Amino acid sequence: MTHLAKLTCCPISQGGEGRNNSVKRSAEVLYQAAYRTGFTPWDTGRPPDELVTLTEGHRALPPGRALDLGCGTGTNTIYLSRCGWQTTGVDLAASAITKARRRAAAAGVEPALVQGDATRLVELGLGDGFELILDLGCYHSLYPETLRENYAHSVTAVAAPGATLLLFGFLPGRLSAHRITATELQARFPDWELLDQSRGKNWLPTEAFRLRRRSLNQETCVDRIS
pLDDT score of 192 = 99
From 152, 179, 164, select the one nearest 211 (Cα to Cα): 164
More confident residue, 204 or 209: 209
11-14: long-range pairs with CB below 8 Å, 24+: 11/143, 11/144
Consecutive H or E run containing 163:
strand 159-170
Tell me the pLDDT tens digit for each residue of 35-49: 666 656 667 778 999
CATH number for region 48-225:
3.40.50.150
pLDDT score of 12 = 32
CA–CA gap between residue 41 and residue 128 (Å, rounded): 32
The Cα angle at residue 129 between residues 27 and 89, in degrees rounded to 5: 35
Tell me the pLDDT tens digit for each residue of 137-189: 889 888 788 999 999 999 999 999 999 999 998 766 554 556 788 999 999 99
Q: Where are the domains of the chain?
A: 48-225
Q: Which class for 213: exposed (0-12), middle (13-18), buried (19 or more C-beta within 10 A)?
A: buried
